[in-house]
Amino acid sequence: MPKNEERVEFENNRVKVTRVNLGEHGKNPTRARNDRVLIWLTDAHHVRVESGKKESIRRRAGEVAWRDASQHEIEDLAGSGHELIIVELKK
């Protein structure tokens, strides 16, 4: 799986749809995202750091979750990387 690749799949004045590939032990730097829906395409185990707080998260392919706007960073812990779709609402 490629390391830390993001590709915008669709964008208009209301939403931005991004495909994210986080490679083996890949780490995304701190970034800001608006309110969003996350759809995991592969199983994932990663750590999410927001405001100095670390959260270990496991997801299964097909899971869907909501996240409020935040600034955070993500690091793969599984060693196999993961892929997901982010549907981000524009303000």
Domain limits, the chain: 5-89
Confidence band for 2, pLDDT divided at 50, 70 and 90: low
Class (C level, CATH) for 5-89 = mainly beta
Neighbours of 4 (CB within 10 A): 15
Share of the chain above pLDDT 70, in %: 98
Mean pLDDT, to the nearest integer, of 57-69?
97
SS3 63: coil
Measure the CA–CA gap between 1 and 54, rounded to whole angstroms: 25
Instruction: State pLDDT tens for residues 12-39.
Output: 999 999 999 988 878 888 889 999 999 9
pLDDT of 27 reads: 82
From the list 89, 82, 66, the residue with the least C-alpha distance to 28 is 82
pLDDT of 65 reads: 97
**Stretch (H or E) spanning 27:** strand 27-33
From the list 2, 16, 24, the residue with the least C-alpha distance to 75 is 24
More reliable by pLDDT, 29 or 3: 29
